Structure 1
Amino acid sequence: MNIAEHKKQNNIVEYIIHMYQTEDLIRVFDMDIENISQYVIKHIPEGDASKEELIGWYQAILDQMNKEGIEKSGHLSETQKIVEDLNTLKQQLLSSDEEFEKIYSKASPFIREFISMSEGKINDEIQICINGVYGILLARINGKKVPDEVQPALDQFGNVLSYLSYKYKQQNFLNDN
C-alpha cells in the first residue's frame, strides 16, 4: 500500500493535502515523469520494485491531470469529490452532533473572513479550511513564518478538518461492514 492509499484509509484530509502536494510536485517538474523519476523517486530509499510502483502511480496521476486539463492549476476531480463529501458530512454533523457544532462555531468567523478575503474565488467552507492548512504547510516548506495573527484561524480550521476526518473514517468503516 502506498502512502496515498494509507492516508486515504486513515485520514482523508491528509490524503487530500497529499494529493494537492502531488499535483504541485508534478507541475514543478513540468508534467515530465522522467524528471520526477530522476529528481524525486531516485532519491527515495526503496527497492527497485517499489520505485517502479511509485513511478507508475505518479504516471497515473500525471495522465489523469492531463485528461482533466489541470496541467497549470486546479485539482483532480476525484480529490474534489472527497471535498464535496466532507461538505455534505459537515452539513449532517451541524444538525446532529453537538461536539462538531461547538468546534464549527469557533471556526465559523475565521471561515467567513477567509472566504471574504478570497474575493469570490472560493465559497466552499471546507475548501477554505483545506487551503488554509495547505497554505501553512507550503509556507513552512518554503521556510516562511506564518503570521501570528493567522495562527488562531489555522488552528480552528485544523480542528474542523480533524473532526470531519475522524467522522468520515468512522462512516466509511461502518459502510464497509
Structure 2
Amino acid sequence: MVPAEHKKKENISEYVLYLLHAQDVIREAGFDSGKIKQYVEEHVPKEDGDKDAILSWYQNIASQMKEEGKEKEGFIQLLKEHMDSLADLNKELLRSDQEYRRNFDQAKLHINRRLNEMNGEVRNPVEVCVVSVYEVNKMRHQGQQPEEELASAVFAFQNLLSYLSYRYRQRNKS
C-alpha cells in the first residue's frame, strides 16, 4: 500500500499534511520527473512500500497540480476536498461533542491569531491548524526552531487535529 493511502485510511490529518509535503516536493523539483524519482529513491524508506507505486502517486499529484494551475502555489482540489470535509466535521463536532469543543476552545485564541497573520491564505480553522503544523514541521526539518508562541499554538493544533482525525475515522468506517 502506498503510504498516502495508508495515512488516508488511518489518520486523515497526516494524509493532508502528506499531500502538502508532496506538493512542496514536486514544486521544489520543478515538476521534473527525474528529480521526483530521485527524491523518492533517496527519501522514502523501503518499508513504505513499492517505490514505483509511490513514484506513480507523486506523478499523479504533479499532473493534478498542472491541470489545476497549482504549479506555483495553492492547494489541489483533492487537498481542498479533504480539508473541507474536516472543516464540515469541525462544525458538526463543535455543536455535538463536548470533548472536541474543549480542545477547540484551547486552540481558539491561537487559531484567531494565526488566521489574522495568514491574511486570507486559509479559509477556515482547520486549514489554519493544518498549514501551521505543516509550516512548523518544515521549519524543524530545516533545523529552525519556531517562536515559543507558535510552538504553543501548534501543540494545541496537533491535539485538535488528532481528535478531529479520530472522529473522522470513526465516522467513515465501512
TM-score, normalised with respect to structure 1? 0.91
- Counterparts of 1:36-115 in structure 2 under 5 Å? 36-37=36-37, 39-43=38-42, 44=44, 46=46, 50-115=50-115
C-alpha separation in 2, matches of 1:45 and 1:8: 18
Q: Percent identity?
A: 33
C-alpha separation in 2, matches of 1:159 and 1:9: 19
Q: Any conservation in 2 of the 1:107–1:160 contact (CA below 8 Å)?
A: yes
AA of the residue aligned to 1:156: A
Q: Any conservation in 2 of the 1:9–1:169 contact (CA below 8 Å)?
A: yes
C-alpha separation in 1, matches of 2:134 and 2:121: 17
Structure with max Cα Rg: 1
- Determine the structure 2 residue equivalent to 1:136: 136
- Determine the structure 2 residue equivalent to 1:157: 157
| Deviation (angstroms), 1:122 | 2.6
| Deviation (angstroms), 1:34 | 1.4
Cα distance change of structure 1 residues 123 and 64 upon mapping to structure 2, 3 Å threshold: closer
- Determine the structure 2 residue equivalent to 1:30: 30
C-alpha separation in 2, matches of 1:87 and 1:53: 30
| Deviation (angstroms), 1:116 | 1.3
Cα distance change of structure 1 residues 120 and 19 upon mapping to structure 2, 3 Å threshold: closer
Across the two proteins, how many residue pairs are aligned to each other? 172
What per-residue deviation string (whole Å, max 9, x for no partner) do you get for residues 60-88 of structure 1?
11111111110111111111111011111
| Deviation (angstroms), 1:167 | 0.2
For structure 1, which runs of at least 5 residues remain unmatched after alignment?
Answer: none
Q: Any conservation in 1 of the 2:7–2:15 contact (CA below 8 Å)?
A: yes
TM-score, normalised with respect to structure 2? 0.93
AA of the residue aligned to 2:97: D
| Deviation (angstroms), 1:158 | 0.9
Bigger drift between 94-103 and 142-151 goes to: 142-151
Q: Any conservation in 2 of the 1:83–1:127 contact (CA below 8 Å)?
A: yes
CA RMSD of aligned residues (A): 1.7
Dislocated runs of 4+, deviation >6 Å: none
